[in-house]
Structure 1
Amino acid sequence: MTEERTCRDPGCSDPIHLAQHHLPPEPNTVAKRVKYIYNTGKFTDITICFSYNNDKIQAHRLILAMSSPVFEDILFGPSAVGPMLQLPEDSPQGFRWLLDYIYTDATHFPSTTIALEVSHLASKYKIDKLKFLCSEYLKRMLNDVNYLNVYNAAVQLNNPDLILRCSQMMQVSGGDVYSSQRVTELSRHAFKYLLQQPCTIVDEVSIFRAVIAWGKHQLGLRERKVTPGDLRKEVEELLPFVRFLTMTPDQIVEAVIPSEIFTPEEVLTLLKAVKKQKDVILPAFCSTNRERRDGQGNYPM
């Protein structure tokens, strides 16, 4: 039987006794121990660096690798990184929340902005349960203010459930979707996907104007001057999703011609096709669909 080492002498210098005397209460579960080293920063062995504001986060290789196969490969694979891990594309704020989840099982998102950032990280690092938590939270918090941002992320992350939920909201508010400035911030893939979805909308002019506004915004992001030629190239693959043949001649004149992206010959062909003249060969960009999105049929001739 091992004798317990104790000392009642206030002047005792026994290092074992002193260590026992000054230790904080010991975390009594594995979860509490992991949370303890996270909160105290003890035993960290990897520094994570971001491009934004020179932010750095200390973490533990083993904990990250246990939580994500991607981190396992980065930190312990054949090409494992050294003491610093550079993640210039990741959001520091979102990554801190990701660590909260990894270390402490945190599941309360402070905002949809953080949830969107974390959903990208969860997808990138293949943390499936967290992807599901993000999706469920975003579906619950979806509203008229954030649904385009959520939709953009859902398409990029290929999240069918979230795409469906956003699409259901957009189907009954199509006009608001296409008139919103935020539609110009959608990725090309998300905007192209949006143009193919059913929606209730008054006229096709709103969609065409949204396409033009989106193209101008994309050119602006690349600091390109907006010329008719460059704008045409930017939106070329989106034009077939605009139902030009459901427009009236007045709408072609008042909305399409001022965009200046079509040649006079193309405009004339559109006008002839809209008026249903015979033997009209449509330009390659023009859809043959004459069904109006609002279900009201064609305009009166």
Structure 2
Amino acid sequence: MATAFTRQLLPDVNDNDLYFIKNQMNKICDFYDEQDFIDVTFQLPNPTTMIPAHRLILASASPYFNDLFKSAQGLAPVIELNNVNSDTFERLMTFCYTGKTLITIDNVGAMLKAAMVLKLDGAVLSCVDYISGHITEYTLQRAYCLENETQCVPLYEKLFEYVLENFMEVNQSTEFLSLSAERLQALIESDKLNVSCEKDVFEAVKRWYEHDAEGRRQILPDLIGSLRLNQLDTDFLLRHVQSLPGCELLALRAIAWTTVSTNRRMVSLKFTTPRKYVHKTSEETTLIAVGSSVSSTN
């Protein structure tokens, strides 16, 4: 009954309640700093460190700790963890108690990996926000490598949004040439791709294809077919699209669709609705680190 009554009060938080909550959280942080009422200690490697904590706080912050403390291993007063280094774990403990922690260019990769292991969703989002807010310094290439390694969905989504918005700059970078066909197709299929015209998208796809023409020949027609081909004029379709391997029929379909309106019911094009272009000038967009600056970070 006490739990049910407490939950009934939570939706009606007012200023006095916020003062109470803040005061309680400050007290809990004091207990942590002074190591009062500690009921569990973690032993971490690299370097070997003993880090005390409160089970209730950690269990409420993460299902990982909740499950751990309910297991036989979690009943021990000292729990050894080998999948997170001590510095990263200590920073994430701070997050469990305060909802904040120190994230830097140098530690954000390790922090994200550990936060995912420990199922600290809030810390994962903080790391992702940090990366997206410092993409020039962190570099898009490092972000892609981290996303591939962690399979972090929020990071994938943030990077996807970033490339959509900054496509005109990104497609000129070396990172763009290494995009997977699946990722590139998802980008060019989006109505939110920020370009000035469909020719920009075509040139980007062609540049990506020519980086490894032999290996990418088979996927090229699918990518070209994901363009808004009906936005390209007949001359462009004949001179540029039709000359690409496997794209001859696509060019002819687009010409038939654009030149004779009565053909449209009989001609199959994947996309015919124009994109929602919101192109920005170079002064208004955020440039990414490319070229020699990328190489220096590897």
| TM-score normalised by length of structure 2 | 0.52
Judging by fraction of residues, say which structure has more helix.
2
Answer yes or no: is 1:107 the counterpart of 2:91. Answer: no
Question: Which sections of structure 2, spanning at least 5 residues, go unmatched?
Answer: 1-29, 280-298
2:253 maps to what in 1?
A: 269
Contact in 2 for aligned 1:249/1:271 (Cα 8 Å): yes
1:228 maps to what in 2?
A: 217
Q: Deviations over 1:128-182 (max 9, x none)?
A: 33234324433542449846866995x9523799579737xx54x4422333332
Q: Deviations over 1:93-125 (max 9, x none)?
A: xx66532413566833231x6425533542453
2:237 maps to what in 1?
A: 252
Question: Which sections of structure 1, spanning at least 5 residues, go unmatched?
Answer: 1-27, 35-42, 48-55, 296-301
Answer yes or no: is 1:69 the counterpart of 2:100. Answer: no
Contact in 1 for aligned 2:242/2:251 (Cα 8 Å): yes
2:271 to 276, 287, 295: 287
Report the AA paired with residue 275 of structure 1: T
Contact in 1 for aligned 2:62/2:118 (Cα 8 Å): yes
Contact in 2 for aligned 1:241/1:287 (Cα 8 Å): yes
| TM-score normalised by length of structure 1 | 0.51
Contact in 1 for aligned 2:199/2:232 (Cα 8 Å): yes
Corresponding pairs, count: 229
CA distance in 2, matches of 1:188, 1:116: 25
CA distance in 1, matches of 2:181, 2:216: 19
1:158 to 144, 154, 157: 154
Assess, with a 3 A threshold, how the Cα gap between structure 1 residues 107 and 85 changes in structure 2: closer, same or farther.
closer
Contact in 2 for aligned 1:178/1:210 (Cα 8 Å): yes
Answer yes or no: is 1:118 the counterpart of 2:111. Answer: yes
CA distance in 2, matches of 1:163, 1:252: 31
CA distance in 1, matches of 2:154, 2:122: 16
Highest Rg: 1 or 2?
Answer: 1
2:88 to 98, 106, 109: 98
**CA-based RMSD:** 5.1
2:195 maps to what in 1?
A: 201
Instruction: Say which structure, 1 or 2, has more relative contact order (CA 8 Å, 6+ apart).
Output: 2
Identity %: 13
Query: Structure 1 residue 199: deviation in Å?
Result: 4.2
1:19 maps to what in 2?
A: none
